[in-house]
């Protein structure tokens, strides 16, 4: 080695390694590229933020319109004519929500594949089959010229925004990500969104399909346990189901089913029971929790019109809210307004079906589904005399027997007419008159006015049948099960100024056995309604704060009913593990309030959920479980009967309640241990049960980190008044009241509201997620219908005639 060193030329210096410098340069370049990309994205997103100050020229306006956005981002639109008002409403809503609006009309119309690709084909076929857009087109002709004008003016405002955003290249970032631009808004788009909301609130077709499928495989005793009530002509109907089987595997796998917990709370309190001496109204409709909210809060002001509340983005007017004299709210009545008919297909002609001994031709609509990056797909929608065939959309199959659906909302209906009248009503008689035009979905309306009136009305088109009760599909080849009309309007459930001094609904049974017409046999679980009644009847003088606190109430009356009995069934079992005993101790000491920082709610809710697995599997598959829309009621009744010592085949076949309850408990404990560790005292309901208000693009990682809110622990549950439904697999809170409102008619010019997660659909808007904290802690903002108080708020936009 020394010899080799000796021959080294001393004048040549050793060469330094250059890798560290090269790596540093590469890292610097990457950082700069990321910074530049991030800066460009920020610039692009920021560029699409709505203009909320200054002046903008708008075509179609007759006079100047002023728009103030208050501290919560609520637009207050003041116009000198209704034409200008609705043009401005369309424009302003599009500023905040155009991507949501476009996605909503596409989903309802079966046009998602055009922008997201082939993965949405089944969904598009599903909604093409249901025909929401066809129903909207049929409804348009039934509207008055005044309402048609409102639709046209609103569309004109939306198109003003779309045109300006395209020209200035300032469409929201979602359009850039998906690589498309919105087409012009049409009046029919607004009505189609309305039809979709009717679909989301009318959920009895899937229960019928579920029971049809179960009839093929279950004993009569086990099938009867799944029924809301057994059909009066049960033996004949069940035999017809078995004799005419339909493979519903594809339908169950691909169907887009409404959340079975879609519902709401509402109540009104008379002046005799309120601290102010005037009626109060509270409403919190329960729907999906997304970003942006399904609700858009707005205040509209014009001559003879001053109304505030919420509306679905893409629809003109205010559907829920108040004016200077009245307030109104809704919950879902949930009657049987969808019937499935078993149709026998002609083996010689697949588009003919038997009726009264003859083959009758169905209508065939030739649909073309555009697909991003691929050739369009042709799809035939077949419509019988009873409605569209819905059992075959997800698979190219034409079975000898098919299911067609009749539904009130597929007929011509005029809800927008009613919405326009709500805003101008000043008393109960005027408001009630407007309900003549509100056909679908059927709703529980509550009403309060400054003259002291409180009222309730179950309203909408509800069919009268020759035979049948809407619980199972019925033969379509005979006229025995046809609809003969609707419940007469004067006979719909109505209550005015009851002696109790309050009226409350929570999707519960609203009639007694003396009511002469069939509404439904499948009501929501009674626990929310029972808790509301408990609170309202328990205090002589109620305040706005009492109303707000009740909307956020987390008392679990289901646990009050079942928990002690279930604990009694398992507490002495020799198969209990030490961790099981520790959990039972927590449950025994629980106050039965679903607070997020407690361990017991996690154990209880998982225990109740695991009864599904123990009781219903493997007989009911995961896909078929999606159609089991009355599962919660059925399971409650099974447990109720078993705790009372009655026979229940689903429980008895699994070894009895003691065995079933222990299996469910241990499955729940195992899941909780996996989620939060081996020490039950350290578990927290809110660590599992969290809300993040997902954006449609948030399902694609890492976009969830950009578009979704930060996950927040949430109390409550599916049966608490403060509703917070959750995904059974992940715990994600995905269902509840995106909007809550309380109004005291002693001061009808203001209301107290919260919209989760916020008003805006724009990622960089200060109103995008700004109400998450309020929503998750039960806080409210005040909204006034006196425009003058906003004139110095600094967010003043003048819309000028072009």
Question: Looking at the predicted structure, is the pLDDT value of residue 2 above 70?
Answer: no
For 582-621, the pLDDT digits (tens) are 999 999 999 999 999 999 999 999 999 999 999 999 999 9
Q: Are residues 329 and 435 in the same domain?
A: yes
Question: Looking at the predicted structure, is the pLDDT value of residue 14 above 50?
Answer: no
Alpha-carbon distance of 169 to 175, in angstroms, equals 11
From 734, 769, 789, the end of a domain falls on 734
Q: How far is CA 4 from the centre of its chain?
A: 82
pLDDT attached to residue 789: 73
pLDDT attached to residue 38: 57
What's the chain's average pLDDT? Answer: 92
* Distance between start and end Cα atoms, the chain: 90
Q: What percent of the chain has pLDDT over 90?
A: 84
For 55-73, the pLDDT digits (tens) are 999 999 999 999 999 999 9
- Which residue has tokens 């200077």? 324
Kindly state the average pLDDT of the residues 320-337.
97
Q: Are residues 328 and 429 in the same domain?
A: yes
Q: Are residues 673 and 524 in the same domain?
A: no
Q: Are residues 678 and 709 in the same domain?
A: yes
pLDDT attached to residue 699: 85
For 480-489, the pLDDT digits (tens) are 999 999 999 9
List the domain range (segments joined by +) for residue 425: 263-294+299-335+416-463+490-551
From 506, 529, 551, the end of a domain falls on 551
Q: Does a structural domain hold residue 484?
A: no
Q: Are residues 586 and 652 in the same domain?
A: yes
Alpha-carbon distance of 603 to 585, in angstroms, equals 11
Kindly state the average pLDDT of the residues 628-643.
95
Kindly state the average pLDDT of the residues 81-96.
98
Kindly state the average pLDDT of the residues 544-551.
98
Q: Does a structural domain hold residue 701?
A: yes
Alpha-carbon distance of 315 to 58, in angstroms, equals 19
Number of compact structural domains in the chain: 2
Alpha-carbon distance of 33 to 341, in angstroms, equals 61
State the CATH number of the domain containing residue 305.
Answer: 3.60.20.10
Q: Does a structural domain hold residue 584?
A: yes
Q: Does a structural domain hold residue 618?
A: yes
Q: Does a structural domain hold residue 627?
A: yes
Q: Does a structural domain hold residue 382?
A: no
Q: Are residues 579 and 718 in the same domain?
A: yes
Question: Looking at the predicted structure, is the pLDDT value of residue 46 above 90?
Answer: no
The band of 6, judged by pLDDT with boundaries at 50, 70 and 90, is: very low
For 429-440, the pLDDT digits (tens) are 999 999 999 999
The band of 40, judged by pLDDT with boundaries at 50, 70 and 90, is: low
Q: Are residues 609 and 728 in the same domain?
A: yes
The band of 195, judged by pLDDT with boundaries at 50, 70 and 90, is: very high
Q: Are residues 509 and 456 in the same domain?
A: yes
For 365-395, the pLDDT digits (tens) are 999 999 999 999 999 999 999 999 998 876 6
pLDDT attached to residue 11: 42
CA distance to 72, 406, 408, 739, 766, per residue, from 772 (Å): 12, 40, 37, 12, 12
pLDDT attached to residue 542: 98
For 129-145, the pLDDT digits (tens) are 999 999 999 999 999 99
pLDDT attached to residue 527: 97
Alpha-carbon distance of 96 to 98, in angstroms, equals 6
For 505-529, the pLDDT digits (tens) are 999 999 998 999 999 988 999 999 9
Alpha-carbon distance of 292 to 708, in angstroms, equals 10
Q: Does a structural domain hold residue 714?
A: yes
Question: Looking at the predicted structure, is the pLDDT value of residue 712 above 80?
Answer: yes
Q: Measuring CA to CA, which residue among 255, 173, 35 is closest to residue 696? A: 173
Q: Are residues 630 and 540 in the same domain?
A: no
Q: What percent of the chain has pLDDT over 70?
A: 92
Judge whether 532 and 721 are in contact, CB under 8 Å: yes
For 499-509, the pLDDT digits (tens) are 999 999 999 99
pLDDT attached to residue 208: 92
Q: Are residues 457 and 572 in the same domain?
A: no
State the CATH number of the domain containing residue 659.
Answer: 1.10.1400
Q: What is this structure's pTM?
A: 0.92
Q: Are residues 646 and 704 in the same domain?
A: yes
Q: Does a structural domain hold residue 511?
A: yes
Give the 3-state DSSP-derived string for 412-445, with helices as H, strands as E and coil as C: CCCHHHHHHHHHHCCCHHHHHHHHHHCCCCCEEE
From 734, 756, 784, the end of a domain falls on 734
pLDDT attached to residue 262: 73
Q: Are residues 588 and 513 in the same domain?
A: no
Kindly state the average pLDDT of the residues 422-428.
98
Lowest mean per-residue pLDDT among 227-236, 334-343, 440-449: 227-236
């Amino acid at each position: 080695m020394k010899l080799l060193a000796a021959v080294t030329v001393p004048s040549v210096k050793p060469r330094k390694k250059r890798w560290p410098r090269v790596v540093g340069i590469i890292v610097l370049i990457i950082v700069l590229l990321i910074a530049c990309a991030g800066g460009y994205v920020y610039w692009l997103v920021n560029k699409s933020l709505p203009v909320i100050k200054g002046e903008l020229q708008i075509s179609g306006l007759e006079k100047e319109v002023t728009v103030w956005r208050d501290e919560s981002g609520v637009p207050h639109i003041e116009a000198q004519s209704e034409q200008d008002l609705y043009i401005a409403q369309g424009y302003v809503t599009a500023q905040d929500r155009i991507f949501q609006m476009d996605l909503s009309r596409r989903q309802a119309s079966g046009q998602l594949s055009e922008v997201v690709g082939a993965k949405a084909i089944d969904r598009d076929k599903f909604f093409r089959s249901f025909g929401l857009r066809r129903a909207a087109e049929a409804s348009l002709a039934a509207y008055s010229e005044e309402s048609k004008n409102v639709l046209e003016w609103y569309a004109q405002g939306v198109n003003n925004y779309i045109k300006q955003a395209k020209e200035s290249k300032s469409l929201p970032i979602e359009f850039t990500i998906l690589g498309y631009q919105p087409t012009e808004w049409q009046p029919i788009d607004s009505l189609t969104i309305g039809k979709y909301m009717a679909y989301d609130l009318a959920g009895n077709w899937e229960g019928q399909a579920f029971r049809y499928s179960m009839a093929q495989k279950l004993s009569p005793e086990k099938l009867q346990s799944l029924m809301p009530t057994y059909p009066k002509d049960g033996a004949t109907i069940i035999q017809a189901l078995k004799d005419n089987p339909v493979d519903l595997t594809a339908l169950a796998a691909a169907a887009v089913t409404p959340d079975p917990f879609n519902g709401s709370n509402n109540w009104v309190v008379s002046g005799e029971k309120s601290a102010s001496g005037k009626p109060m109204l509270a409403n919190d409709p329960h729907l999906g929790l997304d970003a942006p909210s399904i609700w858009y809060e707005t205040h509209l002001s014009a001559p003879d019109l001053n109304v505030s509340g919420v509306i679905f983005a893409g629809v003109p007017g205010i559907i829920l809210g108040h004016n200077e004299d009245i307030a109104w709210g809704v919950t879902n009545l949930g009657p049987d307004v969808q019937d499935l008919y078993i149709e026998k297909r002609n083996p010689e002609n697949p588009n003919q079906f038997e009726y009264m001994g003859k083959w009758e031709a169905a209508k065939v609509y030739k649909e073309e589904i555009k697909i991003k990056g691929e050739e369009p797909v042709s799809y035939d929608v077949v419509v019988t005399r009873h409605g569209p065939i819905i059992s075959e959309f997800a698979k190219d199959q034409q079975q000898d027997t098919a299911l067609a659906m009749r539904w009130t909302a597929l007929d011509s209906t005029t809800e927008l007419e009613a919405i326009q009248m709500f805003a101008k009503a000043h008393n109960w008689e005027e408001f009630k008159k407007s309900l003549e035009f509100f056909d679908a979905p059927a709703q529980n309306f509550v009403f309060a006015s400054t003259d002291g009136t409180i009222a309730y009305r179950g309203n909408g088109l509800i069919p009268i049948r020759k035979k049948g009760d809407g619980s199972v599909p019925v033969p379509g080849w005979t006229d025995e099960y046809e609809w003969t009309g609707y419940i007469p309007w004067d006979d719909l459930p109505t209550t005015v100024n009851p002696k109790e001094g309050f009226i409350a609904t929570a999707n519960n049974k609203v009639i007694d056995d003396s009511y002469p017409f069939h509404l439904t046999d499948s009501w929501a679980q009674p626990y929310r309604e029972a808790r509301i009644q408990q609170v309202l009847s328990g205090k002589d003088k109620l305040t706005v704060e009492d109303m707000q606190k009740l909307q956020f109430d987390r008392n679990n009356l289901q646990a009050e009913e079942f928990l002690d009995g279930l604990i009694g069934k398992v507490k002495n079992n020799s198969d209990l593990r030490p961790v099981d005993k520790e959990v039972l101790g927590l449950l025994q000491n629980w106050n039965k309030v679903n607070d997020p920082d407690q361990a017991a709610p996690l154990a209880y809710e998982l225990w109740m959920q695991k009864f599904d697995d123990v009781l219903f599997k493997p007989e009911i598959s995961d896909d078929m479980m999606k159609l089991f829309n009355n599962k919660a009621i059925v399971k409650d009744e099974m447990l109720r009967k078993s705790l009372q010592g009655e026979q229940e085949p689903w429980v008895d076949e699994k070894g009895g309640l003691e065995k079933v309850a222990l299996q469910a408990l241990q499955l729940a404990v195992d899941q909780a241990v996996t989620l939060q560790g081996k020490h039950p005292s350290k578990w927290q309901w809110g660590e599992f049960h969290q809300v993040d208000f997902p954006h449609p693009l948030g399902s694609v990682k890492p976009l969830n980190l950009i578009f979704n809110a930060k996950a927040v622990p949430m109390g409550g549950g599916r049966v608490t008044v403060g509703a917070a439904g959750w995904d059974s697999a992940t715990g994600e809170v995905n269902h509840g009241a995106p909007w809550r409102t309380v109004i005291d008619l002693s001061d009808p010019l203001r209301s107290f509201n919260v919209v989760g997660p916020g008003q805006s659909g724009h990622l960089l808007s200060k109103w995008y997620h700004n109400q998450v904290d309020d929503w998750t802690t039960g806080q409210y903002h005040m909204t006034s219908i006196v425009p003058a108080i906003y004139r110095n708020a600094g967010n003043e936009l003048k819309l000028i005639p072009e």
